Structure 1
Amino acid sequence: MENRKSTLKNSMGRKTNIRWIVAAMMWAAIAINYIDRTVLSTGATHISKEFSLSSGEMGILMSAFFWSYALLQIPAGWVADRIGQKKTLGFAVGWWSIMTAVTGLAVGFKSLLGFRVALGAGEAGAYPSNAGITSKWFPKKERATVSGLFDSGSKFGGAIAMPLIAWLIVTFDWKLTFAFIGLLGVIWTIIWLLFFKETPAEHKGVNKLELDYINQDNNENVKAENVDSKSSIKWYQLLKYKNIWAMCIGFFMINYNSYFFITWLPTYLVKERGMSLLKMGFAASLPLLCAMVAEIIAGWLSDKVYSKKLLSLTATRKVFLIVGLLMASCIGVAAFTKSPALAVALLCIAKSGNTVAASQVWALPGDVAPKNMTSVVAGMQNTVSNMGGVVGPIITGFIVGATGSFVPALLFSAVLIVIAIFNYLFLLGKVERIEVQ
């Protein structure tokens, strides 16, 4: 066998690595995704002042993005599985980038609300498409690494957005800032449509060694996803499986906690911790930068643990989920510290914990989805999870408005994290592919 492999390698040269270029583009799409959705929260103090908006109204605006984003996750996943992730992701990035660019034309609360809903409609296609691409372009032993990598783009996007957007707003104004940021996605869309192919087999840059490597541990049902698009069952029939419920419930709790960092964190640092806009931009970026590094490491490390058979797939996913969530509970501790520096440090740990868990969350659809349903399962999981994005900013806004403090809002987030820990411990069962008879 070794001689055969050696002969094959010598006859074909080295294995290509086109899949990692694809992974880099998936990462860039998510980074742009989060840069675009963060503009409003970074400029919240300027926008609310210009249009005389209350904390409650700003909470609604921050939430409005998630109304359409959450509602369209399953349809976006279905479309991606049916017509392909290339078209779906390309259209999604192009649409939301245009919506970002024109948000500067808003004249008040209602028009801002409309642009935010339209933005969410476009961004709904990102994560379901990336989950589907991961199942087609990467072997099982690399999926947590890739999931952690592309999801880390959200932290980079949010981190770079805070200081960059703060600088753009100070240098120009918030309206021109939306236009500048929207241009990034338009450029990405053009490159994506020219470079990406639906499957590795279709890409001229992928040689046989890389193709065999991608398919090495996939069963025939997984390979069949590259040649047909027929779903195994109706999407709603997935609801009879306990693991689907566990994935959805757990991710809801994680996202409620996580979205504080891209909606209310800038306001928290300015109003509760007394930071200037530019200082806030730097401080708000730190949790996201730490989280980006933590997620990449967690995804890579979990794949190493699994590939070396130190733990089963189920144990690997659960261990990294629980460790990450224990770190995320630090958001409750941050509420009580008097030191702004210590508060930011604890928030860095909390956000990093969210992403350690997220590296496993985004690998789960590829682990459990039936044939040709990875994007649908990812869409279902993300639909429920982003209800946390819908209610989180609103609840936080009204808690702060009612109490005059962020302390109870942060404590409530910590309680939800504890619930998530029990969910993944006891409701999530064996992590394996759902076989439909």
Structure 2
Amino acid sequence: MQAAATDKHTRKPHTNVRWKIGILMWLAISINYLDRANLSAASGDIMKALNINNAEMGIVMSAFFWSYMVFQIPSGWLADKVGHRISMALAVGWWSISTALTGLAHGFGSLIGLRMLLGVGEAGAAPSNSGIAARWFPDRERGRISAFYDTGTKVGTAIAMPLIVWIISHWGWQASFAASGTLGIVWVLIWIWYYNDPEKQKYVSKEELHYIRSGQKKQDGLDKEQPMKWYQLLKFRNVWAICFGFFALNYSIFFFITWFPNYLEQERGMAAMSMGFTAMIPPLAGIVGELIGGWVTDYLYFTRGKSITFSRKFNLVLGMLVGTVILFAGLTKSTAISVALLSLSYAGLAFAAPALWSIPGDMAPKNMSSTLGGIENTASNIGGVLSPIITGFVVSATGSFVSALIVSGLVTLLGAIAFAFWLGKIEPLTLKKHDVAKA
């Protein structure tokens, strides 16, 4: 028997407020990645202006992830407690101000401090979005909304390269941070005006609200009840499996967000404007991969009637295996082939992402989707901490990106293995009776 596709409540309503909220989620993530990729696009100018070498710039790029990683779980917990209207406005406002202030950096130490300040704010975006998706979208649309808003990670990265290079060429690197910071403040004003939970949103129709809630096995946001403490989620094998797999995915994908422009300039000898446009290609391939991935995981589950475990793991394992081709990108002398391999790798990693961001809604206990999203994103950003540092030191030691890209490919392969064999049946997490008594 096919899944919920045959249910009488699957008829779509005339209003689509949930997808308008989805557009705001997408814009937030796009601005998020535009702001964090700003440093990467401007790194050459900043290194010259502030007299920073490759190894030091690797530490600066990593500094963002120190605070970003630490504040993932607190941000997810806060979002589930106070609601996503407040949590997203606070997160985007914080990081936008931090971005604008980055233009005031005057040396290695101040740049690290400002990047850590940015990470505190940006930590709230991903956990909040996973919770918003769980509240506002029926289960049958979870893969697609996860794919849609997460394409903002690629759009923000792609736009950042040519846009920031153009701004820097006209007004200097400081102006690029002021411009991207301003975008976030505008977004906050729109979000506060429009967003609320489904039952409180003034523009949603009764038919759309019924369509959303009747299509959810677990209905978040109707009350504040949480069946367990956040740290009790760490008792489950599946949580550790998705954490490791997400770590492996991020280790490779953050090469594109941090070192890829330098790779094109230093390893491939590209001029600034050529680099800016070439750096758009892998993220654009990632957008295609992610949209296909979101459609595939929902299609397998709701149209083909496959289990949620098969539907998610299909994306995860296949996407990560394709992502391993990053290790060959540095071995070819052809710039075109290298960029093609990197683009294929990015598309594979992006294909896996919708399943990863759907899993908090699939597995989290009631009203804990943002909390679980924060936990898995904490682990993923250990990859964000390590990747730029290791890459920076490997490049400084060898004078080449070849070894660094091989390491990324091997880490990605380990992630595929973890998703295939460590991750078990995907189902809601529940405590055993003796664990409930201790809670």
TM-score (norm 1): 0.95
Matched, 1:385 2:385: no
**AA in 2 matched with 1:215:** R
Match of 1:324 among 291, 296, 319: 319
Written as runs of structure 1 = structure 2, the 5 A alignment for 1:66-215 is 66-197=65-196, 199-215=197-213
Match of 1:230, SS?
coil
1:295 corresponds in structure 2 to 290
Conserved? CA contact 2:224–2:367, under 8 Å: yes
Conserved? CA contact 2:161–2:280, under 8 Å: yes
* TM-fit CA distance, 1:203: 1.1
Q: Distance in 1 between matches of 2:262 and 2:409?
A: 19
Q: Distance in 2 between matches of 1:362 and 1:55?
A: 33
Conserved? CA contact 1:82–1:230, under 8 Å: no
Match of 1:227 among 204, 215, 222: 222
Q: Distance in 2 between matches of 1:288 and 1:84?
A: 31
Query: After the TM superposition, which of the residue ranges 237-246 and 13-22 deviates more from structure 2?
Result: 13-22
Matched, 1:254 2:249: yes
**AA in 1 matched with 2:316:** L
Deviation per residue, 1:300-330 (Å, 9 max, x gap): 2221221113421110111111111121111
Q: Distance in 2 between matches of 1:331 and 1:90?
A: 36
**AA in 2 matched with 1:372:** N
* TM-fit CA distance, 1:67: 0.4
Match of 1:329, SS?
helix
Deviation per residue, 1:197-226 (Å, 9 max, x gap): 0x211112111211111112323xx23x32
2:349 corresponds in structure 1 to 354
Structural RMSD (CA) = 1.3
Matched, 1:402 2:400: no
Conserved? CA contact 2:131–2:361, under 8 Å: yes
**AA in 2 matched with 1:341:** A
Deviation per residue, 1:168-195 (Å, 9 max, x gap): 1111100111111110000000000000
Identical counterparts, % of pairs: 49
Deviation per residue, 1:216-245 (Å, 9 max, x gap): 2323xx23x322223221111111111100
1:16 corresponds in structure 2 to 15
**AA in 2 matched with 1:32:** I
Match of 2:216, SS?
coil
* TM-fit CA distance, 1:382: 0.3
**AA in 2 matched with 1:211:** L
* TM-fit CA distance, 1:14: 4.9
Match of 1:26, SS?
helix
Conserved? CA contact 1:322–1:424, under 8 Å: yes
Q: Distance in 1 between matches of 2:430 and 2:49?
A: 55
2:5 corresponds in structure 1 to none
2:360 corresponds in structure 1 to 365
Q: How many residues align?
A: 424
**AA in 2 matched with 1:73:** Q
Q: Distance in 1 between matches of 2:201 and 2:316?
A: 35
* TM-fit CA distance, 1:18: 0.3
1:419 corresponds in structure 2 to 414
Q: Distance in 2 between matches of 1:246 and 1:217?
A: 27
* TM-fit CA distance, 1:252: 0.2
Conserved? CA contact 2:63–2:115, under 8 Å: yes
* TM-fit CA distance, 1:435: 2.6
2:214 corresponds in structure 1 to 216
* TM-fit CA distance, 1:54: 1.2
2:437 corresponds in structure 1 to none
**AA in 1 matched with 2:317:** I
Q: Distance in 1 between matches of 2:252 and 2:226?
A: 33
Gaps of 5+ in 1: none
Q: Distance in 2 between matches of 1:174 and 1:180?
A: 10
TM-score (norm 2): 0.95
* TM-fit CA distance, 1:289: 1.0
Match of 1:53, SS?
coil
Conserved? CA contact 2:162–2:273, under 8 Å: yes
Q: Distance in 2 between matches of 1:385 and 1:191?
A: 30
* TM-fit CA distance, 1:293: 2.0
Written as runs of structure 1 = structure 2, the 5 A alignment for 1:243-282 is 243-282=238-277
**AA in 2 matched with 1:218:** Q
Runs (4+) of structure 1 moved beyond 6 Å? none
Conserved? CA contact 2:13–2:211, under 8 Å: no
Deviation per residue, 1:142-170 (Å, 9 max, x gap): 00111111111010000000010011111
Gaps of 5+ in 2: 1-7, 434-439
Q: Distance in 2 between matches of 1:311 and 1:173?
A: 53
Q: Distance in 2 between matches of 1:150 and 1:401?
A: 36
